[in-house]
């Protein structure tokens, strides 16, 4: 038996992934930090350890089924159980209208954001279904709920993540596993800085930021700490009966 909550975070080196790793570490968790490179995964692991948890690093391409099953297998080797799985790896893709969106960019976004989430669900539950996986959180976005002009692939991929979440919630309910989608709006993060520059260029990025904020009733972006607080609740504390939901953290953006 393990003496702490343990589980897996993918996309551990991104801003949201690292913030969630830090919050999990503060709860004393053991975290297998997964990202495309060891360097990126180590960023998440460092946050876990600094906050008081224990961490392992694993490099994997979430679009590759063999590599995804390898990180799930590593979790089983480490602990035999996984109390939580933050299925978080994702990319935003290009900023472009549909009419000029390149097919290769579209396919790359769907490979990471949809195939990666699907494979993570398949691998973690397949390998650990007879153990203890109680809560899975897939990172979607408010872009999976509302329209996202100039970000067609990203928005469509996050709609797909929400659909996968609902299906997985029903299929995994007999295993006592809750599956929910975390749907942040704009967050103070490197991803949003890239999106702002992609939409407005270097000179227009600040204006793009102001335009995003103007659409949000709370008139600001979410902080990484706010996202991590909600993610940690869903991963560790929420009732397992709460499942199949797309839970927004968007300052009211999706309701106006």
The residues annotated as belonging to the active site are: 154
SS3 37: coil
Kindly give the residue spans of alpha helices, DSSP state H, lying in 15-64: 15-26, 38-51
Q: Which of 17, 12, 59, 65 is nearest to 38 (CA)?
A: 59
- Cα angle value 44/161/89 (rounded, 5°): 20
Order across the sheet with 30-35: list the strands: 54-59, 30-35, 6-10, 84-87, 135-139, 178-184, 246-249
Those residues whose C-beta lies under 8 Å from the C-beta of residue 73, and which sit 6 or more positions away, are 127
167: left (phi over 0), alpha (psi -120 to 50) or beta: alpha
* DSSP label at residue 116: H
Indicate the burial class of 175 (C-beta count within 10 angstroms; 0-12, 13-18, 19 or more): middle
Token code pair at residue 189: 């993060």
Could you list the beta-strand ranges (E) of the chain.
Answer: 6-10, 30-35, 54-59, 84-87, 135-139, 178-184, 246-249
């Amino acid at each position: 038996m393990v003496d702490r909550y343990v589980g897996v975070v993918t996309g551990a080196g991104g801003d949201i992934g690292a913030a969630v790793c830090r919050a999990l570490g503060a709860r004393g968790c053991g975290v297998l930090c997964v990202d495309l490179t060891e360097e990126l995964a180590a960023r998440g692991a460092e946050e876990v350890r600094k906050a008081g948890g224990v961490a392992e690093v694993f490099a994997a391409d979430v679009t590759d089924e063999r590599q995804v099953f390898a990180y799930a297998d590593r979790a089983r080797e480490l602990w035999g159980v996984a109390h939580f799985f933050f299925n978080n790896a994702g990319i935003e893709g290009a900023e472009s209208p549909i009419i000029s969106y390149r097919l290769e960019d579209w396919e790359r976004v769907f490979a990471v954001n949809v195939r990666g989430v699907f494979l993570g669900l398949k691998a973690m539950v397949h390998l650990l279904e007879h153990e203890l996986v109680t809560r899975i959180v897939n990172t979607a976005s408010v872009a999976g709920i509302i329209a996202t002009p100039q970000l067609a692939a990203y928005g469509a991929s996050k709609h797909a993540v929400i659909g996968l979440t609902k299906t997985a919630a029903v299929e995994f309910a007999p295993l006592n596993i809750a599956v929910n989608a975390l749907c942040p709006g704009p967050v103070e993060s490197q991803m949003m800085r890239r999106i702002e520059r992609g939409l407005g260029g270097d000179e227009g990025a600040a204006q793009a930021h102001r335009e995003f904020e103007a659409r949000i009733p709370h008139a600001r972006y979410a902080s990484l700490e706010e996202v991590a607080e909600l993610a940690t609740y869903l991963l560790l504390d929420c009732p397992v009966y709460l499942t199949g939901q797309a839970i927004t953290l968007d300052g009211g953006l999706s309701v106006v």
